[in-house]
Copies of this chain bind each other. A is one copy, B any other.
């Protein structure tokens, strides 16, 4: 099979289908989403069996624990895929929405209309739920999609893709509205990202290597999801009753996700009080502490097992561990915390714990990340938690969409003008 030819055929199909998807009625799109959800639910055992085959292979290939965690599909995960699709169906249709219409001195009325992007190419690794979420979001936002999942999730993705295809057909929408690339040849990615005539935007989800390669080679705009080196900063005005659960939840609720905290900053004025309690909490969960000299001195005086504590080096401030490890640094206060974050963060998600209003507002304004939080766990940076229904990724880019990308991120606004024969003077 000639990969370039194969991908161009997919692209042509998608471009053609995109016109029907853009013009589809809200009812037809919702019908398709609900039909897909029904199929995913009724085939739960089939999906779990396909996932088990993928997991066996992945374990045999020695996949890392964090990646195995992402690959794992549970009964709860299946239900949440189906619910996600139903939630997307329940969301307002963004396509055709007219807003901000204003009359201008010339007499014309100028406003915006929300429209699909066209054809969205999504490249992702071993997370089977992405197939359902991405298909759902693209359908509702009136786009055609080409999905290229990781080879580790191949069997599960194919089973989900069958549900999607049947759901589209059930609703009278073109099966080519969502196409899954059925080859694991890496050349398929190279072709997908260099067909501006067929693909309007690429959303890559995966490791740094993949993203770097795609950004380098793409001839199509890319909505990037880079790594998540997220910070929690315990301010000198932190409430300890909020600080402890937020650090624990941000770091330990799940290790393999991009919104997990990887660095902890503590204001010097509170370090002696807060660090021993935070350290004990994290060590009890087996989290390794990589400390600046000052925090090391405070923490080493406690009962942290030796194998769970050591000096951090410069690289730790930039690391996305995706593992039970956290970098810890004492800072002078708010200014140094903001400087540290803007220097080392991957601009994903950062949280401040503080009761001081001015500190909270300065942190929100001056920290240059896609999600900035006051007194909440970084784990909330997520399409479901933000009310988007589902997310297609968390963008660490600065243009178009930042943070969790849902329906709006898959559309853009064109200008519309209502005139009555006006000409320009």
A: which residues have CB within 8 A of B? 19, 22-23, 96, 102, 104, 106, 108, 110, 113, 115, 117-118, 200-201, 215-216, 219, 221, 223, 239, 241-242, 245-246, 248-250, 253, 342, 351, 364-366, 368-377, 379-381, 385-387, 397-404, 412-424
- Whether A370 contacts B415 by the Cβ 8 Å rule is yes
Question: In whole angstroms, what is the CA distance A242 to B107 when docked?
Answer: 14
Contact partner, A253, options B418, B422, B423, Cβ 8 Å:
B423
Residues in B neighbouring A110, C-beta threshold 8 A: 380, 385-387
For A248, the chain B residues whose CB sits under 8 A away are: 423
Q: In the complex, which of the residues B375, B397, B402, B404 contacts A221, with contact meaning CB atoms closer than 8 Å?
A: B397
Is the pair A417, B113 in contact by a Cβ cutoff of 8 Å?
A: no
Q: A221 — which chain B residues lie within 8 A by C-beta?
A: 221, 397-399
Indicate whether A412 sits within 8 Å of B399 (C-beta atoms), given known contacts A104-B385, A221-B221, A368-B115.
yes
Q: Which residue of B lies closest to A418 (CB)?
A: B374
Q: Please state the number of chain copies in the assembly.
A: 2
A403 touches B398 (CB 8 A): no
Kindly provide the distance from the CB of A105 to the nearest chain B CB, expressed in whole angstroms. 9
Residues of B within 8 A of A415 (CB): 370-372, 381, 386, 402-404
> In whole Å, how far is A255's beta carbon from the nearest beta carbon of chain B?
14
> When chains A and B are docked, how far (Å) is the Cα of A241 from the Cα of B19?
34
Q: Contacts A117-B399, A399-B223, A424-B385 given: A419-B249 contact, CB under 8 Å?
A: no
Are B106 and A380 in contact (CB-based, < 8 A)? Answer: yes
**Chain B hits for A374, CB < 8 A:** 416-419
Interface residues of chain A: helix, strand, loop or mixed (majority): mixed
With A253-B423, A421-B245, A424-B385 as given contacts, are A416 and B377 in contact (CB-CB < 8 Å)? Answer: no
Residues of chain B with a CB closer than 8 A to A397's CB: 221
A96 and B372 CA atoms in complex are apart in Å by 13
Output the least CB separation between A233 and chain B (Å): 14
Among residues of B, the one whose C-beta sits closest to the C-beta of A424 is B379
Question: With A104-B385, A249-B424 in contact, do A416 and B373 touch (Cβ < 8 Å)?
Answer: yes
Shortest beta-carbon distance from A78 to chain B in Å: 19
The answer to whether B386 and A422 have CB atoms under 8 Å apart is: no
Q: Tell me the minimal C-beta distance from A198 to chain B in angstroms.
A: 13
A380 and B117 contact, CB distance less than 8 A: no
Partner of A414, one of B201, B372, B424: B372
3 tightest A-B contacts by CB? A376-B419, A242-B421, A249-B423
Q: Across the interface, which residues of B come within 8 angstroms of A371, CB to CB?
A: 414-417
Residues of B contacting A423 in the complex (Cβ-Cβ under 8 angstroms): 245-246, 248-250, 253, 376-377, 379
Q: In whole angstroms, how far apart are the Cα atoms of A257 and B388 in the complex?
A: 40
The minimal Cβ–Cβ distance linking A202 to chain B, given in whole angstroms, is 10
B370 near A414: Cβ-Cβ < 8 Å: yes
With A219-B215, A364-B113, A369-B414 known to touch, is A420 a contact of B242 (CB < 8 Å)?
A: yes
Which of A223, A417, A418: most chain B Cβ within 10 A?
A417
Instruction: Please determine whether B400 and A399 come into contact, CB atoms closer than 8 angstroms.
Output: yes
A372 engages B417 (CB within 8 Å):
yes
Smallest CB–CB gap between A55 and chain B, Å?
Answer: 25
A-B residue pairs in contact (CB < 8 Å), sample of 17: A104-B385, A201-B399, A215-B219, A239-B421, A242-B420, A248-B423, A370-B415, A374-B418, A375-B418, A376-B420, A377-B422, A377-B424, A399-B412, A400-B400, A402-B413, A402-B414, A403-B415
Q: What residues on B are CB-neighbors of A19 within 8 Å?
A: 342
